[in-house]
Amino acid sequence: MSTAVGAPATPIDAPRGVRFPHVNYLNANYGIKSWLLTLDHKRIALLYLASVTFFFFLGGVYAIAIRLELMTPAGDLVESQTYNKLFTHHGVLMVFFFLIPSIPAILGNFLIPLMIGAKDLAFPRLNLLSWYIYMAGGIITLWALLSGGVDTGWTFYTPFSTTFSNGYVVAAGLGIFVNGFSSILTGLNFIVTIHTMRAPGMTWFRLPLFIWAHYATSIIFILGTPVIAITILLVALERLARIGIFDPALGGDPVLFQHLFWFYSHPAVYIMLLPSMGIVSEVIATFSRKNIFGYTFVAFSSIAIAVFGFLVWGHHMFTSSQSIYAGMVFSFISYAVAIPSAVKVFNWTATLYKGSISYDTPMLYALAFIGLFLIGGMTGLFLAALGLDVHVHDTYFVVAHFHYIMVGGALMGYLGGMHYWWPKITGRMYPEGWARFAALVIFVGFNLTFFPQFLLGYMGMPRRYHAYPVDAPVWQVLHVMSTSGASIMGVGMLIPMVYFIWSMRYGKFATANPWPATGLEWRTASPPPTENFGTTPVVTWEAYEFRPMEETEVIGPGDTPAQPIDGMQPTDGKNP
């Protein structure tokens, strides 16, 4: 009889600062070498956590600087050139060094072997190498940003980036190029691991949806990232060797760059989003103690998003002088890719039906994710509507839209996931009250920051503007709202940083399965031992089987009212 499911969520009250009673991956050995040369996926995940957090913090500082500048219509805080560097650096750091690696490289790395019952990823050395590559890319980019800066925007549009910009374009490009290999190796590692290292009985349709989401993400990593690498190479060739690829003065085509860039960068949005959706599925199941409604639909919608995501890049280019017929095709497929996302939202909502819902912090983030992703996704429909996009393209409407997806979606999922698995990662509980408070602050701050930007955008405020007209007072009102929201959100982000660090030493000890949840990762100690499981687990239960599937209720005629039964009917009789 294990404690897997049904154990009450009562953390063990341990004296503060006491070391863990059992040997685990954190205290198995000590010393800087044991970390920098580790092949343990869990330690590598923590290396990523530290470095990704650093880049997130830096990107956040740039965001605050941008928002402060925009409080007044005149460009009075920094010079235009500086402002252009601010938003470029913000974008480059957040996209390439925070959003893309965050969930896969931290939580994916930590959890994929645990969730499928494996000892490690398929290629532990490759896994460590990918962190070193990430760091190399990060340091090169950081050097480029700090020594000279880049003013091209994170999109690097030609011929501005190849011919006209004086920034350190090639150096920043090199950093992103190098960093891409880290993504490719991570994706490769995940795919091989998921295919070959599942524990006995862990069939494809017993996999947690987090795994499905990461499988889909890995497909994009492997197929998409090489394209951005090639594109950066071409930009460098034109900039350094004056080979005409994008610059019409050299016989090139500037719009070709946009096609290549968005061929990667649109799917990259799903790299940020899909893992987050995976987290939401896990969290919703655990905190409503229900199996995910329409499991197979949610699983395959991830794959559908990954596949269709490659066919919609042209919707970034409706005003670019692209053919109007091409625009029609891209618009059509963009609506097709919206459907799997909608299916996920409906299924998550239906999962709550007749659940046992608790309001722990991870659940708050998951519910916030659904609401904010809904708005982000619906405004995506505005942008995919050809005739409407012409007006709102390259305005703050787009800025608001993709921040609802990337911050409201990806970041909320990431924070939810960090809270959900924190007890597993560190063996300690975070302070629940503070965490709920921070979630509320972040949610309010986020909406106050980005909702006014939808209005600004429809009123015609173009993006990447250092200054805006003085004779449009409403614009300033909205910008001030946005800036105050950003400040609130900034403070909100600091709170988890503080209490997470605090909890590593002073938090209560976590049980193996504090929530409780059904996944394999909760059937080993918190924190897990280096080899993850004492013996290889054998899986005989379905995903999210909180109660035996024989008791399943079918919605429709003849529906019997739900009778939540006191006292658990644990399924862990089947547990090894």
Using the minimum distance from each CB to another protein, give the nearer residue, 92 or 345: 345
Q: Report the 10 Å Cβ neighbour count for 30.
A: 9
Tokens 């795919």 sit on residue: 191
Tell me how far, at minimum, the Cβ of 476 lies from another protein, in Å.
14
The two three-digit tokens of residue 38, written as one number: 């580790």
Q: What's the CA gap between 270 and 410, in Å, rounded?
A: 9
68 near another protein, rule: CB under 8 A: no
The two three-digit tokens of residue 110, written as one number: 């930590």
Q: What's the CA gap between 171 and 179, in Å, rounded?
A: 12
Stretch that binds another protein, among 160-168, 434-442, 489-497, 533-541 (CB under 8 A): 160-168
Tell me how far, at minimum, the Cβ of 314 lies from another protein, in Å.
12
Tell me the site size for another protein, rule CB under 8 A.
115
Using the minimum distance from each CB to another protein, give the nearer residue, 132 or 359: 359
319 near another protein, rule: CB under 8 A: yes
Stretch that binds another protein, among 25-33, 34-42, 412-420, 458-466 (CB under 8 A): 458-466
Stretch that binds another protein, among 12-20, 123-131, 219-227, 344-352 (CB under 8 A): 344-352
Q: What's the CA gap between 97 and 48, in Å, rounded?
A: 10
Closest to 262 measured CA to CA, from 149, 387, 382, 393: 393
Alpha carbon separation from 134 to 52, 114, 261, 326 (Å, rounded): 10, 23, 20, 36
Tell me how far, at minimum, the Cβ of 60 lies from another protein, in Å.
22
3-state secondary structure of 214: helix
Tell me how far, at minimum, the Cβ of 313 lies from another protein, in Å.
16
- What does the H/E/C string look like for 503-531? HHHHCCECCCCCCCCCCHHHHCCCCCCCC
Tell me how far, at minimum, the Cβ of 530 lies from another protein, in Å.
33
CA angle 221-227-228, nearest 5°? 85
Tokens 């300033």 sit on residue: 476
Footprint (CB under 8 A) of another protein, residues 209-268: 247-249, 251, 253-255
Tell me how far, at minimum, the Cβ of 259 lies from another protein, in Å.
13
Closest to 173 measured CA to CA, from 88, 54, 249: 88
Using the minimum distance from each CB to another protein, give the nearer residue, 295 or 310: 295
Residue 20 neighbours by CB under 8 Å, 6+ apart:
26, 27, 427, 509, 527
Task: Rule CB under 8 A: choose which of 36, 240, 498, 555 binds another protein.
Answer: 555
Q: What's the CA gap between 233 and 246, in Å, rounded?
A: 12
Footprint (CB under 8 A) of another protein, residues 351-370: 352-359, 367, 370
156: left (phi over 0), alpha (psi -120 to 50) or beta: left
Tell me how far, at minimum, the Cβ of 522 lies from another protein, in Å.
15
Task: Rule CB under 8 A: choose which of 328, 491, 498, 538 binds another protein.
Answer: 328
CA angle 303-300-312, nearest 5°? 40
Q: Report the 10 Å Cβ neighbour count for 504.
A: 15
Task: Rule CB under 8 A: choose which of 78, 126, 223, 467 binds another protein.
Answer: 467
Q: What's the CA gap between 488 and 486, in Å, rounded?
A: 5
556 near another protein, rule: CB under 8 A: yes
300 near another protein, rule: CB under 8 A: no
Residue 213 neighbours by CB under 8 Å, 6+ apart:
274, 275, 277, 278, 279, 281, 302
Using the minimum distance from each CB to another protein, give the nearer residue, 105 or 461: 461
118 near another protein, rule: CB under 8 A: no
Tell me how far, at minimum, the Cβ of 576 lies from another protein, in Å.
21
Using the minimum distance from each CB to another protein, give the nearer residue, 124 or 460: 460
320 near another protein, rule: CB under 8 A: yes
Task: Rule CB under 8 A: choose which of 123, 143, 437, 465 binds another protein.
Answer: 465
Task: Rule CB under 8 A: choose which of 469, 473, 534, 573 binds another protein.
Answer: 469
Footprint (CB under 8 A) of another protein, residues 415-434: none
Stretch that binds another protein, among 33-41, 191-199, 337-345, 411-419 (CB under 8 A): 337-345
Using the minimum distance from each CB to another protein, give the nearer residue, 319 or 536: 319
Task: Rule CB under 8 A: choose which of 1, 32, 241, 565 binds another protein.
Answer: 565
Using the minimum distance from each CB to another protein, give the nearer residue, 10 or 535: 10
Q: What's the CA gap between 196 and 122, in Å, rounded?
A: 8
Tell me how far, at minimum, the Cβ of 145 lies from another protein, in Å.
17
Task: Rule CB under 8 A: choose which of 240, 491, 562, 573 binds another protein.
Answer: 562
Q: For the window 505-544, what string marks contact with another protein as x by the rule CB under 8 A?
A: ----------------------------------------
The two three-digit tokens of residue 459, written as one number: 């009123």
Q: What's the CA gap between 323 and 326, in Å, rounded?
A: 5
Using the minimum distance from each CB to another protein, give the nearer residue, 105 or 405: 405
Alpha carbon separation from 2 to 23, 518, 523 (Å, rounded): 19, 12, 8
Task: Rule CB under 8 A: choose which of 231, 286, 379, 513 binds another protein.
Answer: 379
451 near another protein, rule: CB under 8 A: no
Stretch that binds another protein, among 274-282, 331-339, 421-429, 495-503 (CB under 8 A): 331-339
Alpha carbon separation from 431 to 9, 20, 434, 490, 507 (Å, rounded): 14, 18, 6, 20, 7
Tell me how far, at minimum, the Cβ of 370 lies from another protein, in Å.
6
27 near another protein, rule: CB under 8 A: no
Residue 401, phi then psi, degrees to nearest 5:
-55, -50
